[in-house]
Amino acid sequence: MSNVAVIGAQWGDEGKGKIVDWLSARADVVVRFQGGHNAGHTLVIDGVTYKLSLLPSGVVRTGKLAVIGNGVVFDPWAFADEVARLKTQGVEITPESLVVAENATLILPLHRELDVARESSNSQQALGTTKRGIGPAYEDKVGRRALRVIDLHDFSTLPGKIARLLAHHNPLRRGMGAEEIDADALLAQLKEIAPKVLPFAGSAWRRLDQVRREGKRILFEGAQAVLLDIDHGTYPYVTSSNTVAGQAAAGSGIGPREIGYVLGIVKAYTTRVGEGPFPTELKDEIGDKLGTRGAEFGTVTGRKRRCGWFDAVLVKQTVITGGIDGIALTKLDVLDTFDEIKLCTGYRLDGREIDYLPADASEQARCTPIYETIEGWSESTKGARSWLDLPAQAVKYVRRVEELIGAPVALLSTSPEREDTILVRDPFVG
């Protein structure tokens, strides 16, 4: 059996929550390996809706081990709130069912405040972030001044670490006209939240090595998507971490050879939240129809998503850079009733045709799509659970997507319900 990494293959919001939940029933361990509480997952299980932001999707299933890896930036206050909210829904999270990597970086209130300041309407630094403090926390991690989960164990050494952190942040805040952070007040906040975090803190890499040696199946759950990768995405309109499959190893402390299959989640059309280039975006009634039928509003922010036709150029690129073996194609039912459906097969840039998205942001913005048009279908695909339930034109669309992106469909999702899924190839079999 193979361990599986699940990553988004567009700009996020591809339906990873449902697919991860579907796969978690077959896994023993579910690991978050990057990002923070800026990426939401909506799970619908037996008619009950669970909204997760920081916790791995496996926490809502009994008998599974959930792990928050070292690659995640960890907001202890958001964590405590999410645990408490799930408890009201009957989900009890214990140190036996969840491990938080002790070497994970903390998101502090000062990170959230800095994020908000940069994203304010009069700021020249706005990138369309969720204002959760993710980027500033990663900056401190790379700058080697961050506080980590393990620092909450020893309050005798914490004042010195806070002083080093504030030596960077307070001058920055003065320059922005903001009030400086009081070290004692921050220390008091950390002392207050620590008891809610420390019972879960541990050596995640050792626990994962243990379960690996026991032959248990591990599911690595990514947040955001490859086009938001700090290196391989539409920079600078990206997240602050690597979202490709290689980060599953680095962000959890397990060797890359232990990731046997990479599943990319791909929506049957394209959406994006926030700023940045979007070659196939539709600012017309078709785009509105896609958004309405797909209920395209962010789980975390509630922001309306930008919508457009499927961009095979981008997904072919993310298949390569993301290390994707096969895809889970989601929201096929949203395309029901369209007379014609378009697929982007290339771009025009300054008078020439290209088959990739250039790295330069100004060139990305000038790319215009080259479309191939195929006939749509009037029958419903919603709830289909086998190929025989699909209209012939829908099958033709799926096969054409496979050809254009150079990757097979392993799973096909036809509604938010977890069982409305057509299994073509079990990723855990490899």
Active site residue ranges: 13, 41
How crowded is residue 411: how many other Cβ atoms within 10 Å of its Cβ?
Answer: 22
Q: Where are the beta strands (DSSP E) in 113-217?
A: 201-202
Q: How far apart are the first and last CA of the chain?
A: 7
CB 197 within 8 A of CB 79: yes
Task: Report d(CA 203, CA 220) in Å as an integer.
Answer: 17
Closest CA to 11 of 201, 248, 276: 276
CB 232 within 8 A of CB 321: yes
Rg (CA), the chain: 22
- Virtual torsion, Cα 60, 6, 82, 107, nearest 10 deg: 150
Whose tokens are 């049957």? That residue is 268
Is 26 buried (19+), middle (13-18) or exposed (0-12) by CB count in 10 A?
middle
- DSSP character string of 336-365: TT-SEEEEEEEEEETTEEESS--SSHHHHH
CA dist 37 and 43 (Å) reads: 16
Which alpha helices (H) appear in 273-411, and where do they start and end? Answer: 285-293, 312-322, 361-366, 392-405
DSSP code at position 333: G
Alpha helices in 241-284 (DSSP H): 246-250
Instruction: Give the orientation angle of helix 109-119 with respect to helix 134-142, to 10 degrees.
Output: 120
Helix (H) or strand (E) holding 266: strand 261-267
* Cβ atoms of residues 112 and 133 within 8 Å: yes
Nearest-angstrom CA–CA distance, 200 and 176: 36
Q: 215: which residues sit within 8 A by CB, 6+ positions away?
A: 1
